Structure 1
Amino acid sequence: MTIMVTGGAGYIGSHTCVELIEAGHQVVIFDNFCNSNIEVVRRIERITSAAPVVVRGDVRDRDLISATLAKHRCEAVIHFAGLKSVAESVSHPLLYYENNVLGSMSLVQAMQDVGVGKLVFSSSATVYGDPVFLPLTEDHPKSPYSPYGRTKLVVEEMLTEVAQSTNRFKIAILRYFNPVGCHVSGLIGEDPLGVPSNLMPFIAQVAVGRRPHVNIFGNDYNTPDGTGIRDYVHVMDLASGHLRALEHLSRQDFIQVNLGTGRGSSVLDLVQAFSKACGKDIPFVFSARRDGDVASYYAATDLAHKLLGWRATRKLHDMCADTWRWQSRNPNGYGIVPDQVSA
């Protein structure tokens, strides 16, 4: 099968491309590279010995998407392209609605133009908002607290209505929790622009000497060690979940499932696990809580197992070891000379 992966050069997209290629699929990466690096594509080829097709374009460009889908005879789309910073979305909400909502609408219209009906959408657990109960099941009330989360929910609702209106679309909506880790080769990984907004890449940059310490926001939550608890899931487990969802669309027209481990780990758990993985102490300081943060947040994963036969298999130490392998071999991210990186 030939699959278009929008945002395929990004963190989760690139790992999913590896999973797809190794499963025997052909991949067309559609990316504007506003938050990614062309070096990623070369690294994917080194891992898989197969070069994905690359089209530089914006997901809001309906005509280019239509032409790309038709030219490469794509049979399905996995949609990662979009902006994803919660903090940035608060400062620039219109930018997020334009990219994430209008971009998704343009993509679906383009798919309709050329008769491509299979779509896997990269959503987020942020659609749930402040937990009413834990673990978070797929029918938990939806009340996102940021423009980013609301754009994900708007797209979910749009796709639900599209699926209800026609039998031409088969759609999987995947809500994942806290993606971390990197490919075991150390060739591809998370390389955020500027100051990382997520915890794991921040810890990794502290470990490699790029930052002085980790800021832990809040140590007075009602949790065993006072720090926030999240459901960290390895990016390669997420990648396999997208492959399983795509395969499942041959049997069911519409699904919405969580992808997580079903287990919570605290911020201190993650710092300590990473310290063990890299063999050095990770300095940290406690800071005040951030607005919008909650004490605990983790997934119910029974539905993913029931429908997709999928479970996360990698543990916290795997996530940290793989991240350290990537960061230690690529201290400046994709800015490193490729020949300096060994598989």
Structure 2
Amino acid sequence: MSAPSTVLVTGGGGFIGSHTCVALLDHGYELIVVDDYSNSTPQVFTRVERIAGRFVGALYELDIRDRHALSRVFDRHTVDAVVHFAAVKSVSGSLHKPVEYYDSNISGTTTLLRTMHEHGVHQLVFSSSGSVYGDAGPGPLDETTPARPVDPFATSAWICEQILADVCRRRPEYTVLCLRHFAVAGAHPSGLLGESPRGTPDNLLPNVAQVALGRQKRLPVYGTDYSTHDGTAIRDYIHVMDTVEAHRVALDHLDDAPGMHVFNLGTGKGSSVLDVIAAFSHASGTSIPYEDAPRRPGDVAARVADASAVTRAWGWRAVRNVDDVCRDAWRFQRLNPDGYAGSARRPMTKGS
């Protein structure tokens, strides 16, 4: 069986999802995209199509927990495989709204699985998170490292992984490729796509960019007393373009073997908060003032990936570094100081 030609992308309007749509369109896939736009905007698809030079096949505005609306999408299209991004993903948000996170992420995944099964679709690429490792140590962490999630978002991702593993153990027709990406950042090199969250940014890079633009006076550095080389938290920052390439390559490997297969996505190199500030200052030509702030609940000292397993299996490896991340993130922010506001909106295909 050849690689799937029609792919349903859940959460395709989000940061990683929108970049993945470009990569899949570039490689000839037909796309069906569903998103509820709770942390994204349909305006992004004007840019996706501009970069790819192709129209997205079908766009549906719906919450994947709405089983009837999701089923109608599968009724209207022949779906070969699903790439699943749809989730709420803020660590701090999950600490304040744990029930909402469990409901959204777990119910969304189980509803998707039930709907896939009813329509004879059994191939899935699941976008998980390196946060499932929690406070497992500085690493590098490989796929055999025990999961120790420390916040509701990470726990919800881990529970979804267990559900998927159980499905694969009991139904041999399923193949699930679970990609645990670490700290995804950066932007499309065109400057047309990037990280544009609603409200106050939760991740480091958008906050640094806001300071570089002069919209924030100082960057709060949450925790300066970690056991790291400069006292600030270390993460494995992987460029979004490397991340989406891994998701695209995963589609080529859905027929390798049935069952559940888990792979880390990362660079294998950690950068501290102060390292990122220095790299972004260089990329933007702007000094980034910062101030010490207390540690945040759910944060850990360091989390760095060992991604050698996916290199051995598929030949994929991250080829960009934190300087590339900062350069491209700054280009997007400089060209789009208000994010996607003002982009032309293409009429959407409603899911209800």
TM-score by length of 2: 0.94
Tell me which residue corresponds to 1:300: 306
Tell me which residue corresponds to 1:6: 10
Tell me which residue corresponds to 2:349: none
Larger deviation, residues 149-158 vs 242-251:
242-251
Tell me which residue corresponds to 2:144: 139
Tell me which residue corresponds to 1:225: 230
Query: Which of 31, 34, 51 is the equivalent residue of 2:35?
Result: 31
CA shift for structure 1 position 335: 1.2
CA distance in 1, matches of 2:136, 2:250: 26
CA distance in 1, matches of 2:340, 2:91: 24
CA shift for structure 1 position 209: 1.9
Secondary structure of the residue that 1:35 maps to in structure 2? coil
CA shift for structure 1 position 79: 0.4
Secondary structure of the residue that 2:340 maps to in structure 1? helix
CA distance in 2, matches of 1:121, 1:218: 32
CA distance in 2, matches of 1:211, 1:72: 46
- 1:135 and 1:19, CA in 2 relative to 1: closer, same or farther beyond 3 A? same
- Once the two structures are superposed, the pairs formed by residues 169-184 of structure 1 within 5 Å of their partners are 169-184=174-189
CA shift for structure 1 position 337: 4.7
TM-score by length of 1: 0.96
Deviations 1:252-304 (A, max 9, x none): 22310100111001111101101111111111111122233222110011111
Deviations 1:114-143 (A, max 9, x none): 001110111111111102461111111112
Contact 2:19–2:244 at 8 Å: present in 1 too? yes
Tell me which residue corresponds to 1:197: 202
- 1:218 and 1:110, CA in 2 relative to 1: closer, same or farther beyond 3 A? same
Contact 1:16–1:240 at 8 Å: present in 2 too? yes
Contact 1:124–1:175 at 8 Å: present in 2 too? yes
Tell me which residue corresponds to 1:270: 276
CA distance in 2, matches of 1:206, 1:39: 25
CA distance in 1, matches of 2:195, 2:9: 17
Deviations 1:52-76 (A, max 9, x none): 1201111102222222123121100
What is the identity percentage for the equivalent residue pairs of Structure 1 and Structure 2? 44
- Once the two structures are superposed, the pairs formed by residues 7-86 of structure 1 within 5 Å of their partners are 7-52=11-56, 53-86=58-91
CA RMSD of aligned residues (A): 1.3
Secondary structure of the residue that 1:54 maps to in structure 2? strand
CA distance in 2, matches of 1:290, 1:131: 17
Contact 1:86–1:148 at 8 Å: present in 2 too? yes
